[in-house]
Structure 1
Amino acid sequence: MELNKQTVLITGASRGVGAKLAIAFAEQGANVVVNYFKSKEKAEELSTSLGEKAIALQADVRDTEQVNQMVHKAVKHFGTPITTIVNNALVDFRFDPVAQKNAFELDWDGFNTQFEGSIKASLNTIQACLSDMKEQQFGRVINIGTNLVQNPVVAYHEYTTGKAALIGFTRNMAKELGQYGITVNMVSGGLLKETDASSVTTEEVFGIIESTTPLQKATTPEELADAALFFASPWARAVTGQNLVVDGGLVMD
């Protein structure tokens, strides 16, 4: 299905990577659901700037009922099912190498927060849209991951472990949902320069990344969004269960 005929749900889309994803899909003519949790003003500003083909909808993606209500509102508003889900929301985490807890300080609650933000949230959005996708024999799910799984420049334990689990989730969903014409893939960026979450990353860390990356630069949110467009487009119709690393060549997987 062409991008300009699609309705795309992007979680955590009020700012950072999510906002760039929303802009990228809107520029291709897609209907865009700008999901937000707390940042209502930013989400509505973004939605307004994108025009009549965008709507801002609140939902905590970890809450099944809130996700179901959001999807219902989106379908009613656009008069068409959601065709593509981009699971992007980041829950309670910042890429701060100074504040990051070390192995002596870690607690399970921190890991559980990231598992819920990565796995439970993705499960909720897929299940909320699955019946419609199955009926139309078409669907695209794009999970946002990280190259820190392969190359932990900083040991962001909780976040990286949650995203590692998301790879397994992605591949299992791809295996089962392919029979319904649904592809499930993952786009894993490097430490992006710059988002709200990476604004506390030190220049030293970015310097290490830039000096060891073949393209000699940190990846931008816009570059990550380009890869998401590919997975949602007809060009990727035969691709599923894949984790595409978009980081300038730092990780060659």
Structure 2
Amino acid sequence: VIDRAAVDAMVAAAESRFGAPVTTVVNNALDYSFNGDARSQMTAIGWDEMDRQFSTVVRGALNLIQAAAPGMAAARFGRVVNIGTNLFQNPVVPYHDYTAAKAALLSLTRTAAGDLGPDGITVNMVSGGLLRTTDASAATPEAVFDLIAGMTPLRSVTTPEEFADAVLFFASPWSRAVTGQNLVVDGGLVRD
């Protein structure tokens, strides 16, 4: 997704295959390994780590939005759903590069919503926390899942399926009057 020409080719191939514009995109590109013990500390993190996250998360989303927006505008319908994190509201583990990139993605979400709204395109974000269980959380000890669950009003850790339900809402016609929003789906752990 960081290669604009590749993204343009992907969108063109999808439009050709389905005979219609791409009207829904979900930006969830990730180049990250969640390991709190091995993460770079603030005093040692290099710009190369920050740049890698900004390139994947923000440039990737920008490329896909720009590639799909003309078709969405022509259809007068479009849904962009960006995947964020609750860590910039509740940085329980300070993944500096990842969290900063996701915060920038929220800003892009809100500014894109203003630009693309007149063309019938909504741009929203769904932000999760620890999900039970994904490739990224597979090494998480059960005690951590239990700790997080105990801090949520629902007393559970959100599953990928539960998280996907919120993404489907933003992709659906039911969200037609919602844009520029960030919905935190983490069992109520973050409430602001």
> Partner residue of 2:30?
90
Matches of 2:180 and 2:45 in 1, distance apart? 31
Q: TM-score, normalised by structure 1?
A: 0.74
Q: Deviations over 1:193-250 (max 9, x none)?
A: 1111122333343333112111111111111100011011121100000000000000
| Inter-CA distance 169–156: structure 2 relative to 1 (3 Å threshold) | same
CA-to-aligned-CA distance 1:134-192 (integer Å, 9 cap, x gap): 11111000000011111111111111111011110000000111000000000001111
Once the two structures are TM-superposed, the CA of residue 70 in structure 1 deviates from its matched residue by 0.7
Give 1:1-253 correspondences, 5 Å limit: 61-91=1-31, 93-253=32-192
In the alignment, the residues of structure 2 paired with residue 186 and residue 70 of structure 1 have an alpha-carbon distance, to the nearest angstrom, of 22
Does the residue aligned with 1:143 lie in a helix, a strand or coil? Answer: strand
Matched residue of 2:38: which SS? coil
Amino acid paired to 1:87: N
Query: Which of structure 1's runs of 4+ aligned residues deviate more than 3 A?
Result: 202-205
Give the TM-score normalised by the residue count of structure 2: 0.96
Equivalent pair of 1:95/1:201 in contact (CA under 8 Å): no
Distance (Å, rounded) in 2 between the aligned partners of 1:205 and 1:63: 37
- Aligned residue pair count: 192
**d(CA) in 1 for partners of 2:157 and 2:92?**
13
Supply the distance in 2 between the matched residues of 1:70 and 1:138 (Cα, whole angstroms). Answer: 20
Q: 1:18 aligns to what?
A: none
| Partner SS, residue 26 of structure 2 | strand
Alpha-carbon distance in 2 for matches of 1:221, 1:245: 13
- What percentage of residue pairs aligned between the two structures are identical? 58
CA–CA distance in structure 1, aligned partners of residues 40 and 148 of structure 2: 21
Report how far residue 121 of structure 1 moved: 0.3
- Given that 1:62 and 1:121 are in contact with CA atoms closer than 8 Å, whether structure 2 keeps it comes out as yes
AA in 2 matched with 1:137: R
**What SS does the corresponding residue of 1:249 show, helix, strand or coil?**
coil
Task: Check the 8 A contact 1:96/1:198 in 2, yes or no.
Answer: no
Please, which moves more after superposition, 97-106 or 239-248?
A: 97-106
> Contact 1:97/1:202 (CA < 8 Å) preserved in 2?
no
Q: Give the 3-state SS of the residue equivalent to 1:198 in structure 2.
A: coil
The letter of the residue matching 1:122 is: A
* CA distance in 1 between partners of 2:143 and 2:104 (Å): 28
Q: CA RMSD in A?
A: 1.1
